[in-house]
Chains A and B, each alone.
Chain A
Amino acid sequence: MRGRESPAEDALILFRSRICNPNFVFTPFSDSPDSNYSKLKFIISSSVTEACNNSILLLGPRGSGKTAVLELVIRDLLAEHADMISVIRLNGLLHSDDNCAVKEIARQLCVEHQLLFSKMASFDDNSQFMTAMLRECGLAHKTIIFVLDEFDFFTQARLPLSLMCVHTQKKAHVDWFLTFKFSDIGITSSLCSLQGKQRLLYSLLDAMQSVMSQAVVIGVSCRLDADQLLEKRVRSRFSHRKLLFLPPSKEDLQRLLEHILSLPVDTSLPNDYAVEFNTKLHHILADERFKEIINTLLNSDSTVKHLLRFLFYAVCHMDLESGFLSLDNFRTAMSSIQRQPKMEYLQDCSILELYILVCMKRLEVKEQNSYNFNSVMKEYKGIHDAYQTSDYYARSVCLRAFEHLVQRELICFMDNRGNNQSIEFRAVKLLISSHELYQGLKSYRSCPVSSFKSSV
């Protein structure tokens, strides 16, 4: 059994569990009336208590917290009205086929109400069961909440994941394909004419037009034009409410950072440690350099998920000896998120390899579309003559360096056909951009000036 952990380790464990728990992360947004949480909660709870049907779409880029906020709302509503709500969850990637979807709905309804589900039930049986259950739940004042994840996949035609017989244009031969996405091959089965017509969405939304059923349909999607993808009769039955999940504003961001990274003062952690930690944290958060780091982070990806990943890295780099976070932790986290793998490869290259890359870039600049090892060698000799460098190696050494570069995938062959030719005659091309090359040379530990000059 280990001895008592130091308070720093306790704090680290606390931070990690907080960052990985979406309920904790989104709770500070629940008290402001303007936030998406409050709006969503108001809509669903008023639908439940007033027993009227409603439908809503949650839109926003991936990782902006749509599912997290939805789960938070559902959890709170289940706590408030335990018996009046039952939740059915579908996912557009798994259940976009109508048969599948209705079967899954029937199965989940059975599980909710402790009935036996038969796998042999047909599509008709399942859909009749679904309508009957909707009616019964309406009579019993129970609202069914349908959560449709990846809503845009419900609106698109998908062929079932099965071997389909495909007749090609020529009709002379039959090809067997495993199709995973829809394509423009002509299909002769009449199955296709009914599929892809958004039957599930239509039947769900149509059921909500009657007083018999009590349901709320919540669609979650990352496509902004998800409702434009609906057929016009389905769109007419949809209630046009949309909640947009935008990245957090500056104040929200500040609140979020403080909420996650402040230590609670009245728990098992020693009081003075916690207070000192919080003071130091405040200094860091107010620092201009920290704000710059956060700005750079959010300039490439401003979703909450990205920010949480950054915080996780930073927290894991916390110095356990001192037990406090410092600005360096955040800087290290930043550099581990914004890795440039190819530039890291360049740091490990030898000088000769760098020369070869520079030669290839010069050939590209000279608009030579295809070049091979021999032309690179000519260019190399040209540089050597022009700049009088001391790094002139023999041809066999250069060839070895060339092969290294191919193995590291910094350059590659233009096509795979010339396997019979020797490596010197095959056309090659660069796999890194000139900007990356320039940056790599600039930060190289001991880059010879001549190669640097010649690359510009």
Chain B
Amino acid sequence: MPSIGAVRSESSGEIRSGSGSTPQKRRSISGGPISPPSPVKWKSPRRSVNGSPKTPSKEIEKDSDAKATRLHKSPMKKLSESFLDKSKWNPGDSKQMSAAKEALHVSTVPSTVVCREDEQNRIMDFCKACIEHEKAGSLYACGCPGTGKSLSMEKVRRALVDWAGQAGFQPPDLLSINCTSLTNTSEIFSKILEKQQPRKKTKSSTSPLQHLRNIYSKKQQSSGMKMMLIIADELDYLITRDRTVLHDLFMLTTLPFSSCILIGVSNAIDLADRFLPKLQSLNCKPMVVTFRAYSKDQILKILQQRLMALPSPVFQPQALELCARKVAAASGDMRKALSVCRSALEILEAELRESINSLSLSSEKGAFDQQTLPALDSLTNQEINIVRVDHMATALSKTFRSPIVDTIQSLPQHQQIILCSAVKLFRGGKKDTTVGELNKSYVDICKSVLVPPIGILELSSMCRVLSDQGLLKLGQAREDKLKRVTLKVDEADIAFALQGIRFFRNCLQ
């Protein structure tokens, strides 16, 4: 497969950011020329044009084919490698830092999609078989979000076109739809029809679906049939109450002279079983390819592959492993792993900035601050500047921790007492209560700790503030006192958050 995406070379940069150096070529939307934003020639940091899971651009492919040999050239080739030690990564240099961040961004598409070869091969084989035998077929790809489905579809698409060209078949038409962009579910048929017969005008009396059925029921005049590959993303948006649209879509592939290869992508694993039961009786159930959530090793491999493009190691290997393990245990979502890594990079950046500030401050005072050095003495020189396990741990805790405990700890005292009184009320097994009952419990607790209680008006407005924040749920009632109250936060969270304060601890005993 041609390597696209990771090629960051000067010339591919010219295609896009040539606009940066020749301002007169850029035009504003209204037609007048745009002047460059600053007097300094600002090179776009975006070098890889075709780095998107869904780019439609086809012409870039030809250029990148020629540059396939220059795979490992980094964007820093401008900075002469003579005065940069190749093995050391300098986070202070903004270019290197932004290159590292870009390598970890979700929108950067790697050249090869690792850990999904199996699924890609299966889909390729299916499509190849359809094209060879000139038969229609349907496939359903499912998996949790962030498991590489859309990415794999793009690769398969390109690969299919290449293979068809090489093997002598007619390359299939490609139609890629994201079902969220349809205003009406049956619009998908008009889109398919448009692609099938781009120039013909349809009679307004027949619906697009009927028209498609007519086309597929009659034998095509031309000899070699041109297949159409339809990739429908977020297929569950097509589910209506009577499930006709989804059903009709898949039935299109069962018509005798149908020429479409339908690939549906969605998150629900059992969509085919639940919503298309009739297809099973007709013996044309779609083939199901499940994209399982990434395991720890897979995540690690993908991260390492992305970071290979950088000239020197940026992360401590233990840090990457920690990230992979945590994310795999939580959801197996690759986007989250990338986000956590980028967050760790930013923490490193902030730390270095702070240490530079404090060093410069202390050198201004004249006394060199020796305290910052011993802590870093234990690490080798190289390790100071890369992302360590503690950075990664901080980034992970920021991502996975919910803000509830912090918020409860910083609530004003009366609101904390209200939460406590709710916890006490619900201990007996009751699940909801009224504001009046809550008030009684609240007054009791206030009496026991000798805090003057507030009136019921203020109490009910505080309950409303708590419900705005998502800690309580307040029902509707004509009178304030009769509104129903339920706790939305776990009792254990509240107890944990308030354990530092003695009287709450005693209260919640």
What residues make up the interface of A, taking CB atoms closer than 8 Å to B? 33, 42, 46, 49-53, 59, 61-62, 81, 83-84, 113-115, 123-124, 127, 133, 136, 139-141, 190, 193-194, 197, 199, 202-203, 206, 208-212, 222-226, 232-233, 235-237, 239-242, 244, 246-247, 298-302, 340-342, 433, 435-436
Find out whether the CB atom of B237 lies under 8 angstroms from the CB atom of A242: no
Kindly list the 9 A-B residue pairs having the minimum CB-CB distance in the complex, ordered from nearest. A236-B145, A210-B52, A223-B470, A302-B412, A299-B413, A246-B410, A233-B145, A50-B98, A83-B37
What residues make up the interface of B, taking CB atoms closer than 8 Å to A? 16, 19-20, 26, 28-30, 34, 37, 42, 44-46, 48-49, 51-55, 98, 101-102, 105-108, 144-146, 178, 180-181, 183, 185, 234, 237, 239-241, 267, 333, 335-336, 339, 343, 346, 350, 354, 398-399, 402-404, 406-407, 410-414, 439, 443, 453-458, 462, 465, 468-471, 488
Find out whether the CB atom of A209 lies under 8 angstroms from the CB atom of B53: yes
Taking the nearest CB of chain A, how far is it from the CB of B39, in angstroms?
Answer: 12
Among A49, A52, A124, A222, contact of B183 (Cβ-Cβ < 8 Å): A124
Contacts of A211 in B (CB 8 A): 46, 48-49, 51-52, 55, 107-108
Taking the nearest CB of chain B, how far is it from the CB of A123, in angstroms?
Answer: 6
Find out whether the CB atom of A224 lies under 8 angstroms from the CB atom of B402: yes
B439's nearest neighbour on chain A, judged by CB, is A433
Contacts of B439 in A (CB 8 A): 433
Find out whether the CB atom of A52 lies under 8 angstroms from the CB atom of B468: no
Contacts of B471 in A (CB 8 A): 224
Contacts of A232 in B (CB 8 A): 144-145, 267
Among B34, B101, B234, contact of A52 (Cβ-Cβ < 8 Å): B101
Find out whether the CB atom of B443 lies under 8 angstroms from the CB atom of A435: yes
A193-B240, A203-B181 known; A52-B102 Cβ under 8 A: yes
CA distance A133 to B30 in the complex (A): 12
Not counting A197-B180, A240-B336, a sample of 16 additional A-B residue pairs whose C-beta atoms are within 8 angstroms of each other reads A50-B101, A52-B45, A133-B29, A136-B29, A140-B28, A209-B106, A211-B46, A233-B234, A233-B267, A241-B343, A244-B407, A247-B410, A300-B414, A300-B458, A302-B412, A433-B439
CA distance A140 to B350 in the complex (A): 29
Find out whether the CB atom of A210 lies under 8 angstroms from the CB atom of B54: yes
A211-B51, A240-B336 known; A246-B407 Cβ under 8 A: yes
Find out whether the CB atom of A242 lies under 8 angstroms from the CB atom of B403: yes
- Report 11 cross-chain contacts, Cβ distance below 8 Å, ordered by A residue: A33-B350, A141-B42, A206-B178, A224-B403, A224-B470, A232-B144, A233-B267, A240-B339, A299-B413, A340-B455, A341-B457
CA distance A113 to B234 in the complex (A): 33
Taking the nearest CB of chain B, how far is it from the CB of A253, in angstroms?
Answer: 13
CA distance A224 to B102 in the complex (A): 30
A237's nearest neighbour on chain B, judged by CB, is B335
Find out whether the CB atom of B239 lies under 8 angstroms from the CB atom of A210: no
Contacts of A83 in B (CB 8 A): 37
Contacts of B267 in A (CB 8 A): 232-233
B488's nearest neighbour on chain A, judged by CB, is A225
Contacts of A62 in B (CB 8 A): 465, 468
B242's nearest neighbour on chain A, judged by CB, is A190
Among A115, A139, A224, contact of B19 (Cβ-Cβ < 8 Å): A139
CA distance A123 to B44 in the complex (A): 33
CA distance A246 to B414 in the complex (A): 16
A236-B336, A433-B455 known; A50-B462 Cβ under 8 A: no
Task: Give the interface centre of A51, A84, A299 by most chain B CB atoms within 10 Å.
Answer: A299
CA distance A232 to B336 in the complex (A): 12
CA distance A62 to B399 in the complex (A): 23
A59-B403, A340-B455 known; A194-B414 Cβ under 8 A: no
A222's nearest neighbour on chain B, judged by CB, is B468
Find out whether the CB atom of B468 lies under 8 angstroms from the CB atom of A223: yes
Contacts of A50 in B (CB 8 A): 45, 98, 101-102
Find out whether the CB atom of B46 lies under 8 angstroms from the CB atom of A140: no
Chain B facing A: main interface SS: loop
Count of A-B residue pairs with CB < 8 Å: 164
Find out whether the CB atom of B333 lies under 8 angstroms from the CB atom of A236: yes
CA distance A247 to B406 in the complex (A): 11
Task: Give the interface centre of A199, A210, A211, A301 by most chain B CB atoms within 10 Å.
Answer: A211
Contacts of A299 in B (CB 8 A): 412-414
Taking the nearest CB of chain B, how far is it from the CB of A251, in angstroms?
Answer: 15
Find out whether the CB atom of A302 lies under 8 angstroms from the CB atom of B411: yes
CA distance A244 to B335 in the complex (A): 22
CA distance A33 to B352 in the complex (A): 13
Find out whether the CB atom of B185 lies under 8 angstroms from the CB atom of A212: no
Contacts of A124 in B (CB 8 A): 183
Find out whether the CB atom of A302 lies under 8 angstroms from the CB atom of B410: yes
Contacts of B407 in A (CB 8 A): 61, 224, 244, 246
A123's nearest neighbour on chain B, judged by CB, is B183
CA distance A190 to B465 in the complex (A): 36
A199-B180, A299-B412 known; A190-B107 Cβ under 8 A: no
Taking the nearest CB of chain A, how far is it from the CB of B242, in angstroms?
Answer: 9
B335's nearest neighbour on chain A, judged by CB, is A236
CA distance A62 to B336 in the complex (A): 29
Find out whether the CB atom of A190 lies under 8 angstroms from the CB atom of B339: no
Find out whether the CB atom of B462 lies under 8 angstroms from the CB atom of A244: no
Contacts of A202 in B (CB 8 A): 180, 234
CA distance A244 to B407 in the complex (A): 8
Contacts of B105 in A (CB 8 A): 52-53
Find out whether the CB atom of A193 lies under 8 angstroms from the CB atom of B412: no
Task: Give the interface centre of B48, B107, B399, B402 by most chain A CB atoms within 10 Å.
Answer: B107
CA distance A246 to B411 in the complex (A): 8
Taking the nearest CB of chain A, how far is it from the CB of B17, in angstroms?
Answer: 9
Contacts of A33 in B (CB 8 A): 350, 354
Find out whether the CB atom of B181 lies under 8 angstroms from the CB atom of A300: no
Taking the nearest CB of chain B, how far is it from the CB of A132, in angstroms?
Answer: 9
CA distance A208 to B145 in the complex (A): 16
Task: Give the interface centre of B55, B146, B180 by most chain A CB atoms within 10 Å.
Answer: B180
Taking the nearest CB of chain A, how far is it from the CB of B134, in angstroms?
Answer: 34
Contacts of A46 in B (CB 8 A): 346
A212-B52, A233-B145, A240-B339 known; A224-B469 Cβ under 8 A: yes
A240's nearest neighbour on chain B, judged by CB, is B399
Contacts of A246 in B (CB 8 A): 406-407, 410
Find out whether the CB atom of B469 lies under 8 angstroms from the CB atom of A223: yes
Find out whether the CB atom of B453 lies under 8 angstroms from the CB atom of A435: yes
Among B29, B102, B403, contact of A115 (Cβ-Cβ < 8 Å): B29
